[in-house]
Structure 1
């Protein structure tokens, strides 16, 4: 008497749970799209009312039919997807019948049967004994041609060992799944994608850290160079505009306002220094904000440039010379006026002498005064030029010193931030390495368990397959 499938497995592996399969006493008719399964189900229900025929989607999860009728069209041989569908449908069922449908429309259907039989035999040994028949469940002309299929199903479904073979097939699928799981765990196949993702992530963290460090350094240097150039241009431009403004004021300054003008120049120089310093602070603050760094601390208030007084020294010798020249010029004017009066009215000679003397004296005073004023304005103009040059040197020095101080402060802040980012990156890399080590340990444990369990499971599945082979031989002998 044949042993039960559960006893065959329990003799080798007693602790293994049985297949989680709920067997239904139905025949599942399945196949690829447009193979004609629906019409074949209707024909079989009509010809075999004692049996229940369902399509594959009518089976619930975990349910397995008593037999599978796999239907393919006579248009072309089986494809890879067709074979995969067959394996899925017959995973827990031993009885499989192959049907080539629509034989009424394809005369070469027998060649398709031979090709399909050969393809399945190459795919798995269990399919070498699958019977194949031709059928036309809904022909264009005539009656349905399903007699051969009906006779075959009556014979196969009535076999007394059908239930035992199906149970053995379910045990084979259960054991094969266990073997595949242990092999996959031992080889780390299920972890391989995650391990590769972790390694890629670790490489990305390292690359991003190096790239970010380089980008931050380059950005800081570039911004500092731009700040040095722009602030230097701003300082020089401000000094140039002030030079033009003060030169215009110097050309309009009278003798009485010479002292006030020098004070005004010093105030304007202080204003320029303050404006440039405020511009430096604003520019450096914007630059630091663009780099996501705190603004460098502002230094103390700028010192006003030391501007010496205008060299308006006494010009006694020049004044004496101009007095002599002015007197000569005035004397000439006086003589001309006297002659004018004498020529107009001879009686006004004395009055002409008096008027001519006064006019000559006035001309002499005016010439001496205007010459001195022009000289003072020329001196002021040269002094304004010297003062603005001194101012320009002071603001350029201020720009250079503040940019240098900002470079030191921002470099220190950037270094601190990079250290923090590097520490975070190192922590993340350490986490990834720890996870990789854990995966390696789990894979090693799974490999050890695989080596321990596979021999017993292989013996069990070999015993199941031996029982199936013996039953199939007996069935063929009958």
Structure 2
């Protein structure tokens, strides 16, 4: 019959076995039921679900459920699985000896199954007690139903039709799913999300690195400039304090001391710049930039300590006047005390006046030298500060250029890697689209034939009116599966 509709439909794809499958949910009493049936019907083979292969179809299914409560959704799903390729199904409510309301449970089970699918409307339900606590087992009704139904010559034909119906429904659903790409929807969605994540991640990573590089460079420029200014200010204060306490003998070594301190400040700032920029590169996970050759200390010149001529003359005149006044005072002191020592008083007064004159001139010269050295130190520190700020700016600029180049190279490598991954994803997405289009073409070619074959099978099973109902049920089932995706 099927070959006349489609030559490819040669077999329902299952192996019919002359056995009765006894199955049911957990604690439904299937073990005791199958043992009792084997004793009562020794000429019939009873098996459990694990004794059948995936392609085996039993001649009948005894679905055992406990009388404790009506069928649940999981129980119905189990029956759908066990009776997929078998038309003859008998419902058995077990443990009726322990539950007085088993008839209500049986009626509820019958109603639940009848609402689930039209094929379950004519399932026969019986109550059984395979291993009662008191009394004899109650299996007569079930045994009678099995003997009657299994001897019906139409059972084998209806079972084969049911197997064909299951195969055709499965094929139609598969073609529908493949043609709509429902089975690929999750993978396609995941690929698109991965692609978006890669693009977004590359954009965010590049922005974050650029912002981080700019921030590190700005911080380095600010902190290093502040460090150089602070060092210059601190050293200038120290040197000016030394110049203010300078003695006559220390003037000759003060210039060497200043030059040594300037060189030390230059080395300190160079080391500080190198360490700070190395830490900044490590913070950016970039290689440390090369350290350029150190700069020589700036030319600070020599202090001008030569006295001005007019200033020197004025100092000598003032000192001489001060000394003459002291000499006259000493002479009068000696003359007033001892009139005979006038000559001696004149000599002593002259010596004291000369000594004071020399002392005043010397002190004035030392103060002038201290003031000149103070101004020189200020000029030296100003020049040093300018040189160090220029050094900071040039090194930070060089490091910024080097790190920017390194960052650009790294971005190029990562962009190439991301582009390769995106290309792979795009290729897979295109392949999914091609496969879906190809499956849609196969679906459009195969579905009319399969539906015609299914209509033929259902007409044999249910008649023309029921065939329409079953087709509506198949369409609804396909739509439900489609909505799940």
Q: Same fold (TM over 0.5)?
A: yes
Do residues 361 (structure 1) and 363 (structure 2) align? no
C-alpha separation between the residues in 1 aligned to 2:380 and 2:64?
Answer: 105
Superposed CA offset, 1:299-322 (max 9, x none): 554353343432323233333333
Q: Determine helix, strand or coil for the equivalent of 1:129.
A: coil
Q: Which residue of 1 aligns with 2:400?
A: 407
TM-score between the two structures when normalised by the length of structure 1: 0.87
Correspondence for 1:47? 40
CA distance in 1, matches of 2:287, 2:115: 73
Worse-matched range after superposition: 34-43 or 461-470: 461-470
Tell me if 1:240 matches 2:230. no
Shift of 1:125: 2.2
How far 1:239 moved relative to its partner? 0.9
- Name the structure 2 match of 1:120: 113
How many Å apart are 1:27 and its aligned residue? 2.1
- The answer to whether structure 1 residue 430 and structure 2 residue 419 are counterparts is no
Cα distance, 1:404 vs. partner? Answer: 2.9
Q: Find the aligned partners of 2:346 and 2:50 in 1 and give their Cα distance.
A: 141
User: CA distance change for structure 1 residues 455 and 348 in 2, over 3 Å: closer, same or farther?
Assistant: same
Pair 1:316-2:315 in alignment = no
Task: Write the distance in 1 (CA, Å) between the matches of 2:306 and 2:131.
Answer: 129
Q: Report if aligned partners of 2:3, 2:10 keep a CA contact under 8 Å in 1.
A: no
Report 1:78-93 matches (<5 A): 78-93=71-86
Q: 1:20 to 1:348 in 2, by over 3 A?
A: farther
Moved more, 288-297 or 78-87: 288-297
Instruction: Tell me by how many angstroms 1:355 deviates.
Output: 4.9
Aligned position for 1:276: 269
SS at match of 2:65: strand
CA shift in 2, pair 1:361/1:469, >3 Å: same
Aligned length: 464
State TM-score, norm by structure 2: 0.85
Contact kept, 8 Å, 2:21 with 2:62, in 1: the verdict is yes
Q: State the distance in 1 between where 2:335 and 2:55 align.
A: 147
1:45-84, aligned counterparts within 5 Å?
Answer: 45-84=38-77
Q: Which residue of 1 aligns with 2:368?
A: 375
- 8 Å contact 2:179–2:440 — kept in the other structure? yes
Which of 226-235 and 135-144 deviates more?
A: 135-144
CA RMSD of aligned residues (A): 2.9
Deviations 1:29-68 (A, max 9, x none): 2112222222322332332233233332343443333321
- Could you tell which deviates more after superposition, 213-222 or 30-39? 30-39
Q: 1:213 aligns to what?
A: 206
Deviates more, 1:244-253 or 1:75-84: 244-253
Pick aligned residue for 2:193 from 182, 195, 200: 200
- Whether the aligned pair in 1 keeps the contact of 2:231 and 2:265 (CA below 8 Å) is yes
Q: Residue 70 of structure 1: SS of its match in structure 2?
A: strand
Q: CA deviation at 1:188?
A: 0.8
Match of 1:446 in 2: 439
The one-character-per-residue Cα deviations of 1:378-429 (angstroms, maximum 9, x if unpaired) are 2211221222122112211222233233333433433343344334333332
- Could you say what secondary structure the match of 1:97 adopts? strand
Q: 1:359: how far off?
A: 4.1
> Which residues of structure 1 form unaligned runs of 5+?
1-7, 474-478
Rounded Cα–Cα distance in structure 1 between residues aligned with 2:365 and 2:198: 79
2:295 pairs with 1:302: yes
Counterpart check, 1:155 vs 2:148:
yes
